[in-house]
Amino acid sequence: MAIKHFLQFSDLTLDEFEHVIERTRVIKSKFKNYEPYHPLADRTLVMVFEKNSTRTRLSFEAGMHQLGGAAIYLNTRDSQLGRGEPVEDAAQVMSRMCDIIMIRTFGQDIIERFAANSRVPVINGLTNEHHPCQVLADVFTYIEQRGTIKGKTVAWIGDANNMLYSWLQAAQVFDFHVNVSTPKGYEIDPTLVAADNTHYTLHALPSDACVGAHLVTTDVWTSMGFEEENAARLKAFDGWIVDAAKMQRAQPDALFMHCLPAHRGEEVAAEVIDGPQSVVWDEAENRLHVQKALLEYLV
Ligand code: CP
């Protein structure tokens, strides 16, 4: 059987996602009821981080432990990857010792080269272009809260980043629509969107993108740790904060999501992220549950 990787959202079919979502419900219920479930006993996940993380590391490591397996953490500081070992060689070696691999790295080309040389499934834990595990958790969270995401409208308020590109792929798979509003200079790169993707509309004004939305979502304007770029970005993003006025243009029962970490007062007002429409803590927790289902499926 061919190895199944999850390098971008479009790597799985709707049938496969429906299976993973159903398994997520079962696995989450077992977790909540303290019911041991160890389908990955004696299996090992290796996690390679070339960028920092809180949620991704914690959810994969805790998840693998809860499934009965082990997780090994590697980063570029204390592995040979940071000293120039070719990713092709690293992939060959890791995939002879471990059952599944998760990588957080820079370019999509790196993870694709890694996967091409791996004997076991590779999961994208974030690249500059895609963040499929986060959007899987977000889609699951919406379905959990509202029943279905099919036919719904998601408002994306912010720059065109890895989250947006994964949302656009998810819209094609699950048949929903994304209203996109990006500041000038931070627009979509058309080479990162499928030419046949008709599931999104561009809006010059973020308040217009929110009209009628069932879900409003955004992301940090400046990645944590890169605040020296902040001044220019704060100027470009002026007006793109998700505040109560923008949420009022959405559906009355619209949800707010943010993949975290967040800067209150920049991309989102405290009244929204800490308000009644926000589901950010469920969203963060669901990283754990969807990834356990994903690990079970791919292994
Ligand atoms: N949302 C997310 O991927 O968080 P981390 O960067 O903490 O993993």
Tens digit of each residue's pLDDT (9 = 90 or more) over 170-207: 999 999 999 999 999 999 999 999 999 999 999 999 99
**Mean pLDDT rounded to a whole number for the chain:** 96
Asked if residue 285 has pLDDT above 80, the reply is: yes
For ligand 1, is residue 56 a contact (CB within 6 Å)?
yes
**DSSP state for residue 157 in the 8-state scheme:** E
Average pLDDT on 143-161 reads 98
ipTM surpasses cut 0.90: yes
Structure tokens at 227: 């605040």
**The overall pTM is greater than 0.95:** yes
What percent of the chain is predicted at pLDDT more than 70? 98
- Choosing from 259, 277, 289, 291, which is the catalytic residue? 259
Pocket residue to mutate for ligand 1, from 47, 49, 56, most atoms within 8 A of Cβ: 56
Give the closest residue to 147 by CA, choosing from 167, 173, 172, 176.
176
- What beta strand segments (E) does the chain contain? 44-49, 70-75, 100-104, 122-124, 153-157, 177-181, 200-202, 215-218, 255-258
Euclidean distance between the first and final Cα of the chain, in Å?
12
For 214, phi then psi, to 5°, come to: -90, -20
Asked if residue 81 has pLDDT above 90, the reply is: no
For ligand 1, is residue 259 a contact (CB within 6 Å)?
yes
Give the range among 15-19, 136-140, 224-228 with minimum mean pLDDT: 224-228
Would you place residue 225 in the very low, low, confident or very high pLDDT band (cuts 50, 70, 90)?
Answer: low
Q: Helix (H, G, I), strand (E, B), or coil: what is residue 156?
A: strand
Q: How far apart are CA 143 and CA 140, in angstroms?
A: 5
Would you place residue 226 in the very low, low, confident or very high pLDDT band (cuts 50, 70, 90)?
Answer: low
Asked if residue 2 has pLDDT above 90, the reply is: no
Q: How many residues appear in the chain?
A: 299
For 101, phi then psi, to 5°, come to: -130, 135
Centroid of chain to Cα 40:
23
pLDDT of res. 224 = 65
pLDDT of res. 125 = 98
Average pLDDT on 19-32 reads 98
Q: How far apart are CA 79 and CA 83, in angstroms?
A: 8
Atom of ligand 1 nearest to the CA of 125: 3
